[in-house]
């Protein structure tokens, strides 16, 4: 089912630029969307805001680690670097640099491309140059006459940028006069008129993930930074509502939307506002057909295998949450777990119909999404998983012959093997 997953490719200039979309990126990562972050530079030219965490010589390595840490919190498992020069993006050979982005787009085939806004949020020359090149690469990646050596063409369905609504300045008067200092220049923040915002993501429950990501960027913690002029609570409020502008691609429905994917690929199962699971599939009509398809058994085998591994990884992860391998496995397996829950909901509905009952349970995913915190969601899904699995097993055993039971036993052995392999 992985190939049906959506992909967000976020391209930003510096380590820490991702934080501004952090609640949204972690939200989508939790929904099973593949989120890839491409960071153009290592941020090696930045001012160091800590006493002993970095020197000019080590800053690139330190900021690399800081971004990896942030990605762990945001559930970003795929981090790419362009290794462009910090502060020098605009001076790169434009054609060649854009070609690097085109190759990345064609490789990853994202559903959504996300980058800095045209105004940069503040006019850092790297932000502006990255915006211009991402905009050009969005077009070029879909044009077979451009960069033929960069792989088969890909039309990314939507290009979004971040945005800061103008109304923020009214609520944070200090922000109007705030300037980001860059090589002796003082750069102002730039808002976007509120009525030009296309998508506002309501991602309150994911604010702690964004904050945790920011806490990783220790070398950037400027005590006189922009947070210092924000009224109490407004920073959290901004993190709970992140804004985006659609630049190109499939139009959005009328009005401000709350989902970057709205209207794309109906039938995909991982989107918040997507159709209810299985809405279009007719119930099992022919009772003579086997209730359980071989394909389902195969899928469940592999998914349950991953699920059982998750429990073990969680134990390791809880022991040492900062261990990066466990963190990334945890996120990977959480996504897999969501897949299996969906799968079970779909097939249980079929089973229920086949068994003459009329009470399908397709609401598990919606229910899970009501749990604000990842650990509560996980607990809920795990319980549902166990209930669903044993219910399925009972039905399968009552309806099927011994061969099928052998499949289940093989499955249990596989799961044990996976757990062993992780030790």
Residue ranges in contact with Zn ion by CB under 5 A:
13-14, 17
Q: Which is nearer to Zn ion, 182 or 316 (CB)?
A: 182
Nearest residue (CB) to Zn ion, 128 versus 264: 128
Selection from 89, 107, 239, 77 nearest residue 162 by Cα: 239
- φ/ψ of residue 257, rounded to 5: -95, 165
2 phi-psi bin (left φ>0, alpha ψ -120 to 50, beta other): alpha
Give the nearer residue to Zn ion in terms of CB position, either 41 or 328. Answer: 41
Place of tokens 């209930």: 387
Contact of 267 with 275, CB cutoff 8 Å:
yes
Cα-based torsion angle of the residue sequence 209, 211, 214, 216 in order, rounded to the nearest 10 degrees = -70
Structure tokens at 296: 């389902």
14 versus 378: smaller Cβ distance to Zn ion: 14
Q: How far is the CB of 371 from Zn ion (least distance, A)?
A: 33
The Cα 217–Cα 49 span in angstroms is 10
Q: How far is the CB of 121 from Zn ion (least distance, A)?
A: 8
Q: How far is the CB of 127 from Zn ion (least distance, A)?
A: 6
Provide the sign of the torsion angle of the four alpha carbons 197, 201, 207, 209, taken in this order: negative
Token pair for residue 2?
Answer: 């992985």
Residue (17 or 352) nearer to Zn ion, CB: 17
CB of 120 vs Zn ion, minimal distance in Å: 8
Residue with smaller CB distance to Zn ion, 71 or 344: 71
Where does 93-203 have alpha helices with state H?
A: 94-108, 125-141, 167-171, 173-177
DSSP H/E element including 404: helix 402-422
Cβ distance to Zn ion smaller for residue 14 or 307: 14
Q: How far is the CB of 13 from Zn ion (least distance, A)?
A: 5
Q: What is the closest distance, in whole angstroms, from the C-beta atom of residue 119 to Zn ion in the complex?
A: 13
CA 97 vs. chain centroid, Å, equals 25
DSSP at 144: T
Measured from the CB of residue 130, what is the shortest distance to Zn ion in angstroms?
9
CB-closest chain residue to Zn ion? 14
Tokens 């934080």 label which residue?
A: 19
Which is nearer to Zn ion, 13 or 79 (by Cβ)?
A: 13
What angle do the packed helices 294-319 and 374-399 form, to 10 degrees?
150
CA dihedral sign, ordered 219, 104, 148, 132: negative
Cβ at position 422, least distance to Zn ion in Å: 37
Give min distance, CB of 93 to Zn ion, in A.
Answer: 21
Which residue, 13 or 48, has its beta carbon nearer to Zn ion?
Answer: 13
């Amino acid at each position: 089912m992985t190939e049906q997953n959506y992909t967000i490719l976020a391209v930003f200039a510096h380590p820490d630029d991702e934080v501004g979309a952090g609640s949204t990126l972690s939200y989508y990562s939790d929904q099973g969307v593949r989120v890839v972050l491409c960071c153009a530079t290592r941020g090696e030219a930045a001012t160091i805001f800590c006493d002993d965490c970095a020197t000019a010589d080590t800053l690139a390595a330190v900021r690399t680690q800081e971004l990896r840490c942030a990605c762990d919190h945001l559930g970003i498992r795929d981090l790419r670097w362009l290794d462009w020069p910090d502060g020098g993006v605009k001076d790169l050979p434009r054609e060649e640099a854009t070609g690097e982005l085109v190759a990345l787009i064609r490789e990853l085939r994202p559903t959504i491309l996300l980058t800095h806004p045209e105004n940069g949020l503040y006019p850092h020359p790297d932000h502006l140059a990255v915006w211009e090149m991402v905009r050009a690469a969005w077009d070029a990646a879909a044009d077979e006459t451009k960069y033929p050596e960069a792989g088969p063409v890909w039309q990314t369905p939507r290009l979004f940028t971040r945005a800061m609504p103008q109304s923020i300045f009214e609520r944070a008067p200090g922000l109007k006069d705030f300037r980001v200092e860059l090589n002796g220049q003082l750069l102002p923040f730039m808002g976007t008129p509120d009525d030009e915002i296309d998508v506002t993501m309501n991602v309150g429950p994911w604010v702690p993930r964004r904050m945790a990501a920011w806490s990783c960027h220790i070398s950037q913690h400027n005590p006189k930074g922009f947070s210092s002029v924000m009224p109490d609570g407004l920073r959290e409020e901004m993190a709970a509502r992140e804004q985006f502008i659609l630049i190109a691609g499939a139009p959005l429905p009328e009005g401000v939307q709350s989902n970057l994917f709205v209207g794309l690929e109906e039938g995909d199962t991982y989107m918040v506002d997507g159709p209810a699971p299985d809405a279009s599939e007719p119930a099992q009509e022919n009772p003579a057909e086997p209730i359980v398809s071989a394909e389902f058994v195969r899928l469940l085998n592999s998914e349950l295998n991953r699920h059982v591994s998750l429990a073990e990884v969680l134990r390791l992860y809880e022991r040492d949450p900062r261990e990066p391998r466990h963190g990334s496995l945890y996120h990977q397996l959480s996504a897999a777990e969501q897949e299996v829950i969906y799968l079970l909901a779909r097939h249980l509905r079929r089973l229920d119909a086949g068994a003459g009952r009329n009470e399908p349970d397709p609401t598990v995913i919606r229910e899970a999404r009501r749990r604000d915190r990842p650990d509560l969601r996980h607990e809920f899904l795990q319980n549902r998983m166990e209930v669903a699995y044993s219910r399925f097993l009972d039905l399968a055993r009552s309806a099927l012959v011994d061969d099928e039971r052998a499949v289940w036993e093989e499955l249990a052995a596989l799961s044990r093997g996976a757990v062993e392999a992780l030790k």
